[in-house]
Amino acid sequence: MDNGQHTHIVKYSTFVWILIILLVLTFSSVAITQLDLGVYTVTGALLFASVKSVIVLMYFMHLKFDKKFYAIMMAGIALLLTSVIIVTFLDYLYR
């Protein structure tokens, strides 16, 4: 019966690739803390973490294969949290 929902089977090889990418990004986010980049160290680590989150959301949580509405909601939430982080850094960058 068509209940308006789709099932999408992701190939195992895709999951393996995602695992590898997540591991590389995890090591990268640790490695960047060893470099003295000033405030960009935190920015870099946050970027790596954000990319990892997006990959997990898209593939493991099937956002890529779901209705666009949910992706828009997630984007709104991400924008909100990004804004919160930026406002926090108005303190740290100018203190």
Partner 1 sequence: MIETHTQDTTPSFLEYKGRFKGLMGWIFSTDHKRIGLLYLYSMLVFFSVAAILGLLMKLELIAPGKTIMGAQTYNSFFTLHGITMIFLIVVPGLPAVFGNFFLPIMIGAKDVAFPKLNLVSWWIYIIGAFIALSAQFMGDGAPDTGWTFYAPYSFKTGTNMLPAVLGAFILGFSSIVTGINFIVTMHRMRAPGMNWMKMPLFPWALYGTSWIQVLATPIVGVTLLMVVLERTLQIGFFDPALGGDPILYQHLFWIYSHPAVYIMILPAMGVISEIIPTFARKTIFGYTAIVVSTLAIAFVGYFVWGHHMFTSGMSGVALYTFSILTFLVAIPSAIKIFNWVATLHKASIDLQTPFLWALCFLFVFMIGGLSGMVLGALSANVHLHDTAFVVAHFHYIVFGGTGYAFFGALHYWYPKMFGRMYDKSWANIGLAMFFTGFNTLYLPMFYLGMTGMPRRYYDYVDKFHGPNIISSLGAILMIVGLIVIITNLVRSARYGAPAVKDPWKGKTLEWTVASPPSLENFDEIPTVTDHPYKYE
Q: Which residues sit at the interface with partner 1, rule CB under 8 A?
A: 77, 80-81, 83-84, 87-88, 90-95
Tokens of 88: 């926090």
What 59-67 contacts at long range (C-beta under 8 Å, 24+ apart), as own/partner pairs, is 59/10, 59/14, 59/15, 59/18, 60/18, 62/8, 65/6, 65/8
Question: Based on CB atoms, which residue is closest to partner 1, 26 or 88?
Answer: 88
CB of 58 to partner 1, least distance (A): 20
CB of 76 to partner 1, least distance (A): 10
Of 49, 59, 34, the closest CA to residue 82 belongs to 49
Question: Based on CB atoms, which residue is closest to partner 1, 9 or 87?
Answer: 87
Question: Based on CB atoms, which residue is closest to partner 1, 23 or 86?
Answer: 86
> How far is Cα of residue 3 from the mean position of the Cα atoms in its chain?
30
CB of 77 to partner 1, least distance (A): 6
